[in-house]
Amino acid sequence: MTNFSRPSGRAPDALRPVTIERHYTRHAEGSVLVSFGDTRVLCTASVEEKVPGFLRGKGEGWITAEYGMLPRATATRTQREAARGGQGGRTMEIQRLIGRSLRACVDRNLLGDRTITLDCDVLQADGGTRTAAITGAYVAMVDAVAGLKARKLISKDPIFGAIAAVSVGVYRGVPVLDLDYPEDSACDTDMNVVMNEGGGFIELQGTAEGHAFRRDELDALLALAEKGMVELFAKQREALAR
Amino acid sequence: MTNFSRPSGRAPDALRPVTIERHYTRHAEGSVLVSFGDTRVLCTASVEEKVPGFLRGKGEGWITAEYGMLPRATATRTQREAARGGQGGRTMEIQRLIGRSLRACVDRNLLGDRTITLDCDVLQADGGTRTAAITGAYVAMVDAVAGLKARKLISKDPIFGAIAAVSVGVYRGVPVLDLDYPEDSACDTDMNVVMNEGGGFIELQGTAEGHAFRRDELDALLALAEKGMVELFAKQREALAR
Amino acid sequence: MTNFSRPSGRAPDALRPVTIERHYTRHAEGSVLVSFGDTRVLCTASVEEKVPGFLRGKGEGWITAEYGMLPRATATRTQREAARGGQGGRTMEIQRLIGRSLRACVDRNLLGDRTITLDCDVLQADGGTRTAAITGAYVAMVDAVAGLKARKLISKDPIFGAIAAVSVGVYRGVPVLDLDYPEDSACDTDMNVVMNEGGGFIELQGTAEGHAFRRDELDALLALAEKGMVELFAKQREALAR
Amino acid sequence: MTNFSRPSGRAPDALRPVTIERHYTRHAEGSVLVSFGDTRVLCTASVEEKVPGFLRGKGEGWITAEYGMLPRATATRTQREAARGGQGGRTMEIQRLIGRSLRACVDRNLLGDRTITLDCDVLQADGGTRTAAITGAYVAMVDAVAGLKARKLISKDPIFGAIAAVSVGVYRGVPVLDLDYPEDSACDTDMNVVMNEGGGFIELQGTAEGHAFRRDELDALLALAEKGMVELFAKQREALAR
Amino acid sequence: MTNFSRPSGRAPDALRPVTIERHYTRHAEGSVLVSFGDTRVLCTASVEEKVPGFLRGKGEGWITAEYGMLPRATATRTQREAARGGQGGRTMEIQRLIGRSLRACVDRNLLGDRTITLDCDVLQADGGTRTAAITGAYVAMVDAVAGLKARKLISKDPIFGAIAAVSVGVYRGVPVLDLDYPEDSACDTDMNVVMNEGGGFIELQGTAEGHAFRRDELDALLALAEKGMVELFAKQREALAR
Amino acid sequence: MTNFSRPSGRAPDALRPVTIERHYTRHAEGSVLVSFGDTRVLCTASVEEKVPGFLRGKGEGWITAEYGMLPRATATRTQREAARGGQGGRTMEIQRLIGRSLRACVDRNLLGDRTITLDCDVLQADGGTRTAAITGAYVAMVDAVAGLKARKLISKDPIFGAIAAVSVGVYRGVPVLDLDYPEDSACDTDMNVVMNEGGGFIELQGTAEGHAFRRDELDALLALAEKGMVELFAKQREALAR
């Protein structure tokens, strides 16, 4: 392991530089540009005074997410999903993950009959777009909810705790934190971890692309994720304090 | 916990009765009806002498999966995806999981320029359709590959190890194995675990619906999954020995 | 004609073995696995307390059907219609035929504001899937209606008479009953006949693939169909008596 | 039956006025406006030097049909299928019928590696659009094939015999020929009959909307259809002689 | 320019022969076959007692248009949009233009809660289909509105002024009026002009295919369009007077 | 007119502040963030070594464009086109306009067998998104072509002249330059003008929403557009010089 080095030169337990820029666009109730290194995702939170059919009349709100990738966010051009006639499996999988993750820190009864839609659009991709999206969307959602409180549309804060996400993986035999694209495409095992501030797991999605991972590897990966989370929650707090 | 009981009366670490019936239909190269209790999934393996575009000319085979649910596999009728005009997000998520899981035990170079498609169609649903599908599809794939060997189309077995899957979750505060529908819809945390015979993890997908799960709960869930796996691999071996 | 023989060795006027298994799956109000030889179709009847828009407020019920074929019901894999983005012409033609046929024995005023959907999914195909589907769907519908009566949701039976269907065709110059796939793909003339117990015709769909059929051939085919019907109605009665 | 009268005042065995106008539009290899009373269908035959995938390399041609209805061909506006995102079941059923019918009089080996597409677009509908379409499309196809012969692209005529179609039905208890819309929507039994000049049946599609039809009714309907055919074949010959 | 000649032999400022035939089909509230030379478009106006969602409850009517091209309206067969699964960009662009143009001469408050849909279907194409469609659709709309007045459903005429359209372009360096297909496909600059009877511009859509057009060319083209308009408005008045 | 003022306080002939930021994202061959006031559009140019089918084997390149709007670029959330299943009419109209405009300054023979796709995605909308897109996409295309020259893939510059676009309209009776959203939604006449550096018109799309525009108004609008163009070409040159 003496010779081990990550393509980016980062230490195995180092995140990429993370920035969270609020009020990035003007119309949305929450609008955040989040960067995990070269991965840049625009996360907007839109509040609408309606709920999907299955919640109608229950006095409960809804949190949902949609995910998109600009055609040239990637190294080679990806066909536009609108032009292809629909969202693909990867997109659906990711937006369902974002929606479930964010719902895990909201008391939807306190939200009332309204929906918050988190649109996460990748402007530039370099690995980890879904974890950056969750981390940024949380901040956009906090801003949107703050607006509801400021306008006295809700009295009690429906958000409890914070949510962030990071990827971990085994790259050339070494567990590493926050994979960028060169690592992601070459690594054997890849895990996306969504946690809350209290150290609880919200989502855990591990995939062994190359070789199955053993229990001790899993433990090492989870420890790395926990370390990264502390930094991500700090970044979110800083951004929200500005 | 003295008063704890599962809707089915099972012990927390008990699987439902599992049956694996080979040669269930006649045309497919592998055809398995797998039951996890009342969940019944027909898994067929189809061999085709072609590969998707991105593998053309590489001498590598492909393993892919498709998932479907008959409209009345469920308690109330679900609209047919073909009639709705396309596969939904849940279907895509599941069939991508099945495909990735099965690819994890196949040396695709040994398979040659051919594709094995695993069609997993749920005839009756009672929770755990994706884990039953993976467990059954493995057996169908083994039969399909055996056919290729018998016809001398391949010389060396491309399948290494076995793959099975089971769900675990925290139901009323107690970690339980192999959730049925009443448990699945009421539980706080739900995890699908795909493993190989060597005890390695292939996929891990945990979701906290109600409350975030702590590290000790995760450990308990993984221990349950490992116990269930031993039984599932035995069922697969028995079926293949018949 | 001394040398004439059918691929299956059956007499020209012989049906394949027909079995009708009720309560095949657990959730549907009616659930029947029907086999015409190697053709196996799962027919479920689902009762819903709603009617399509064009019947709203008229106090009339609706009977409709959907048809599907599992991808590997056939000798070579057929692409899944949900993955292709919609139902094809053949599927639509068949499900419209099943729906019209079943409506022909129901007084929809007695059914009230509810819809019975007959889902006919082919698990294994060997010719005659649509006639098997109609014959089985009738039994599933009777079970569903019996459930409505048992729950006192309707007082008078809306079903009058029975409906069954069989194919007939001219194979190598000889009129034969109940074509299997080898016959179906080689025959000159193919006719699907739907009748009621009173000997009335509900649907007649004859197609001359190879050579146009003469009036005397038509008469011979109709006589064969009538013979087959007697046996099919007996099979339905037996199944319903069990 | 003394009091019986058809809405149009026609005798039970009378066709509506039938006109067949060739060269109706300029670009198509065959272009026919056919009228059965107020039903007007534009049938064009387009010759293309290609065949569908399943016939490639077999030296066999193909005949296919597409059917459409202008939005305001009907009494109330029908939504445009292109705007709805696809062809409905009725359209698919009809265009498959037209294609099969026309293929029944063509030796596709003599046609060579080319496809004739028959586009049948209903400008005005008053019942019987599919039978008018078949009757007119035959004439358009003859013109297209004549063009191929004139240009010496084929030497032997691939068309043998003529094809026409007419509807028959039981209206207020009386078998009648060539139903118009008021009859069609009120009649109990409706049958579309496609025949060739030699008196052979090509397609027979009978549907009992109201009451099942008996064998003697079937015989009466077929006799009416045969009578109508004689007149339709005469109309086609006249048109082609002009 | 002494040697300049148009493929049709027309003078640069000459329209093709224009005919406007009312009551071309029977069901629509307005039905016009308009011809600009060999371009023939069937324009129907359908009145429906409903408005789109965004106008509900506002007491305002709506005018909208749909455009289609029969598959063999063109020199080579164009695939049917319904079969391709949706309307293409060109179709959408044209039908939006027709709708906007016609709305420009209607006081939608006087129309009341109803929608007039103008379906413009090209039976034969030879350039200028959209300008012919607008010119004909206006006449169809006038007939539909006259019907509403005759049935006393509206009291005051919501139509003010007339609307017509024509194309102009620079062909081989010379500004010409009303381009036919050979000119359209070879010309450098092409402009569609929609005007009202008062000489006001409703829509102006100029495109430089080959070389950018200068201001003096624009002036020459607009002068030609104005000349053509005078003749088109006269044709509309004549047709409406018959 | 003494009292006339624009919502933004701008003079009638004043553009909004225009900025053109190159190299905004990293992967694309050209990547420009263009702002016309609060309207912000990300324009990327992607070079691919292939051409569409209709150009295959002709040695000619292709320039095409796609347009999209992030769901929350607008004041209220717009449904994602990928989720709705396809691009709408407005999107198609705009992307066709961008493609045609850019093709007008490229000698496609010099480009060789390659395609440049201009993806214009609106991050924030405040009127004039299509004109900003054209103005920015030109710069992205220049960068992409410069890259081809630097890599010696082409020897002669295929781009001749520059292309820019601006909107003009009549707002409260006064011709104004570069409409923002409040003006755009309230104005009577709206025209998008695409020009080249030589003062030639490439596209002219004028629409009279409220009242038809007279010839003198058209002249005033074109004069305003010409003035705006001078400034836009200067902005492009400045950006390209940095």
Domain ranges of chain D: 18-241
Contact C203 D202 (CB under 8 A): no
DSSP output for C113-155? S-EEEEEEEEEE-SS-HHHHHHHHHHHHHHHHHHHHHHTTS-S
Q: What is the pLDDT of residues B38-78, one digit of tens each?
A: 999 999 999 999 999 999 989 999 999 999 999 999 999 99
Token code pair at residue C117: 């959907």
Contact E202 F195 (CB under 8 A): no
Burial (CB count <10 Å: 0-12, 13-18, 19+), residue E90: middle
What is the chain D residue with the closest CA to E115? D77
When CB atoms are compared, the residue of D48, D68, D83 closest to E80 is D68
Q: Is the pLDDT of residue F1 over 70?
A: no
In chain D, what percentage of residues exceed pLDDT 90?
Answer: 90
Q: Is the pLDDT of residue F8 over 60?
A: yes
Cα Rg of chain E, angstroms: 18
Measured between beta carbons, which residues in chain F are less than 8 angstroms from residue A140?
Answer: none
pLDDT bucket at E209, cuts 50 / 70 / 90 = confident
Closest CA to F212 of B183, E196, B101, D209: E196
Token code pair at residue E165: 């359209």
Residues C43 and C163: their CA atoms lie apart, in Å, by 14
Can you give the pLDDT at residue D2?
59
Measured between beta carbons, which residues in chain F are less than 8 angstroms from residue A91?
Answer: 82
User: Which D positions 92-151 lie with beta carbon below 8 A of chain E?
Assistant: 117, 119, 121, 123-125
Residues that constitute the known binding site of D: 90, 128-130
Can you give the pLDDT at residue A122?
98
Here the ipTM equals 0.94
Measured between beta carbons, which residues in chain D are less than 8 angstroms from residue C198?
Answer: 212
Contacts of A233 (CB under 8 A, 6+ apart): A162, A164, A197
DSSP E206: E
**Contact pairs from chain B to chain C, CB under 8 Å:** 97
- B21 part of contact set with chain C, CB < 8 Å: no
Cα A230 from chain centroid? 15
Contact C70 B44 (CB under 8 A): yes
Q: Is the pLDDT of residue F142 over 90?
A: yes
Can you give the pLDDT at residue F81?
93
Q: Is the pLDDT of residue C181 over 70?
A: yes
- E67 part of contact set with chain F, CB < 8 Å: no
Contact F207 E100 (CB under 8 A): yes
Contact C117 B42 (CB under 8 A): no
Q: Is the pLDDT of residue F90 over 60?
A: yes
- D213 part of contact set with chain C, CB < 8 Å: yes
pLDDT bucket at D10, cuts 50 / 70 / 90 = very high
pLDDT bucket at A92, cuts 50 / 70 / 90 = very high
Residues that constitute the known binding site of B for phosphate: 90, 128-130
pLDDT bucket at F209, cuts 50 / 70 / 90 = confident
Q: C88, C68 in Cβ contact below 8 A? A: no
- A83 part of contact set with chain F, CB < 8 Å: yes
Contacts of B101 (CB under 8 A, 6+ apart): B134, B163, B165, B194, B202, B203
Q: A141, A108 in Cβ contact below 8 A? A: no
Q: Is the pLDDT of residue A1 over 70?
A: no
Give per-residue burial for A139-167: e unless 16+ CB within 10 Å, then b.
bbbbbbbeebeeeeeeeeebbebbbbbbb
When CB atoms are compared, the residue of A73, A85, A123 closest to F86 is A85
pLDDT bucket at D96, cuts 50 / 70 / 90 = very high
- C77 CA: distance to closest CA in chain B (Å): 7
Contact F201 E218 (CB under 8 A): yes
pTM score, whole prediction: 0.90
Contact E95 F89 (CB under 8 A): yes
Contacts of E190 (CB under 8 A, 6+ apart): E167, E168, E169, E179, E184, E206, E207, E209
Burial (CB count <10 Å: 0-12, 13-18, 19+), residue D172: middle
For range B82-100, the mean pLDDT? 92
Q: How crowded is residue C118: how many other Cβ atoms within 10 Å of its Cβ?
A: 30
Per DSSP, the three-state class of C171 is: strand
Can you give the pLDDT at residue F117?
98
Burial (CB count <10 Å: 0-12, 13-18, 19+), residue C153: middle
Residues that constitute the known binding site of A for phosphate: 90, 128-130
**Chain mean pLDDT for chain C:** 95
Q: A164, A198 in Cβ contact below 8 A? A: no
Contact C71 B27 (CB under 8 A): no
Measured CA to CA in angstroms, residue C226 lies from C192, C233, C239 at distances of 12, 11, 20
- B208 part of contact set with chain A, CB < 8 Å: yes
Can you give the pLDDT at residue A112?
93
- Amino acid, res. B165: A
Can you give the pLDDT at residue F7?
94
Can you give the pLDDT at residue C197?
94
Contact F82 A77 (CB under 8 A): no
- F89 part of contact set with chain E, CB < 8 Å: yes
For range E23-34, the mean pLDDT? 98
Can you give the pLDDT at residue F2?
59
**Residues C226, C228, C229, C231, CA torsion sign:** positive
Q: Is the pLDDT of residue C2 over 70?
A: no
Contacts of C191 (CB under 8 A, 6+ apart): C167, C168, C169, C204, C205, C206, C207, C221, C225, D204
Residues E77 and D229: their CA atoms lie apart, in Å, by 31
Closest CA to F101 of F67, F57, F127: F67
- B69 CA: distance to closest CA in chain C (Å): 10
Measured between beta carbons, which residues in chain F are less than 8 angstroms from residue A72?
Answer: 25, 27-28, 31, 44, 46, 119
Measured between beta carbons, which residues in chain E are less than 8 angstroms from residue D27?
Answer: 72-75, 124-125
Contact D89 C100 (CB under 8 A): no
Contact A27 F123 (CB under 8 A): no
Q: In the CATH scheme, what is the code of domain F18-241?
A: 3.30.230.70
Token code pair at residue D238: 């006249």
Contact F205 E204 (CB under 8 A): yes
For range F182-203, the mean pLDDT? 93
Q: What is the pLDDT of residues D213-233, one digit of tens each?
A: 899 999 999 999 999 999 999
Measured between beta carbons, which residues in chain A are less than 8 angstroms from residue F74?
Answer: 27
Interface residue of B94, B201, B215, B226 to substitute, partner A, most A CBs within 10 Å: B201
Contact E89 F86 (CB under 8 A): no
For range C41-55, the mean pLDDT? 96
Q: Is the pLDDT of residue D188 over 90?
A: no
- C25 part of contact set with chain B, CB < 8 Å: yes
Can you give the pLDDT at residue B194?
98
Contact E82 D77 (CB under 8 A): no
- B83 part of contact set with chain C, CB < 8 Å: yes
When CB atoms are compared, the residue of A86, A92, A201 closest to B206 is A201
- E79 CA: distance to closest CA in chain D (Å): 10
**Chain mean pLDDT for chain A:** 95
Can you give the pLDDT at residue A128?
97
- E19 part of contact set with chain D, CB < 8 Å: no
Q: Is the pLDDT of residue C119 over 60?
A: yes
Q: What is the pLDDT of residues E55-83, one digit of tens each?
A: 998 999 999 999 999 999 999 999 999 99
Q: How crowded is residue C7: how many other Cβ atoms within 10 Å of its Cβ?
A: 12
Measured CA to CA in angstroms, residue F200 lies from E177, E212, F195 at distances of 21, 5, 6
3-state helix, strand and coil shares in percent for chain B, rounded to the nearest 5: 35, 30, 35
- F220 part of contact set with chain E, CB < 8 Å: no
DSSP D225: H
Interface residue of B100, B102, B185, B207 to substitute, partner A, most A CBs within 10 Å: B207
- A89 part of contact set with chain F, CB < 8 Å: no
Interface residue of A38, A64, A77, A98 to substitute, partner F, most F CBs within 10 Å: A77
For range A73-84, the mean pLDDT? 94
- A129 CA: distance to closest CA in chain F (Å): 15
Measured between beta carbons, which residues in chain A are less than 8 angstroms from residue B165?
Answer: none
- F77 part of contact set with chain A, CB < 8 Å: yes
For range E223-229, the mean pLDDT? 97
Q: Is the pLDDT of residue D128 over 90?
A: yes
Can you give the pLDDT at residue A2?
59
Contact A44 F71 (CB under 8 A): yes
Can you give the pLDDT at residue B2?
59
In chain E, what percentage of residues exceed pLDDT 70?
Answer: 99
Q: B165, B130 in Cβ contact below 8 A? A: yes
Contact E70 D31 (CB under 8 A): no
Measured between beta carbons, which residues in chain D are less than 8 angstroms from residue E46?
Answer: 71-72, 76-77
Residues B15 and B39: their CA atoms lie apart, in Å, by 12
Residues B66 and B85: their CA atoms lie apart, in Å, by 16
